[in-house]
Amino acid sequence: MDTDPPAPSQYFTILLIMFTSGLVLGLYVYYVYARHVFQDHTYKRRLWERVSGIAAIVGGIGAFLALMRIIEFPYLSTRAVMYVTILTTLGLLGYLAFYLITRYPQELARYESWALKQQYMPRPRRKARVR
């Protein structure tokens, strides 16, 4: 009898590519895109930095686990660990869609009204020095 486990399928190579691209894209958006595109809009910049940071973390963990599955590392190459990672990714995408549909428009309107009020608020003047 052959006791060797079967080799992992090519789907894990595809998952490795997808998770690695999620990691790279998340890091790019976090460090480059969000800071340059939304530099004047604090709320949007923080939202994109938060989302891309989470995407980079999940992409890094998923790429690591897919690589462990490909090289058949014990305990980290089980199907359950990979399924949990895929379900976590789908759950985060679902939460992002839910947030963008329900809460984001309200919080964006609240932030923009606050920013408009701040724009027209009087600023304290610097007092002249007494010599």
Q: Are 75 and 48 in contact (CB under 8 A)?
A: no
Say if residues 52 and 34 touch (Cβ distance below 8 Å).
yes
pLDDT tens digits along 29-44: 999 988 888 888 888 8
State yes or no: pLDDT of 98 exceeds 90.
yes
d(CA 105, CA 50): 17
Q: How many residues in total does the chain contain?
A: 131
How much is the average pLDDT of 112-131?
81
What is the band of 83 on the pLDDT scale with cuts at 50, 70, 90? confident
The domain locations on the chain are 11-118
Q: Which residue has the higher pLDDT, 37 or 1?
A: 37
- The yes-or-no verdict on residue 21 having pLDDT over 70 is yes
Q: Environment class of residue 26 by beta-carbon count within 10 Å: exposed (0-12), middle (13-18) or buried (19+)?
A: buried
Residues above pLDDT 90, as percent of the chain: 24
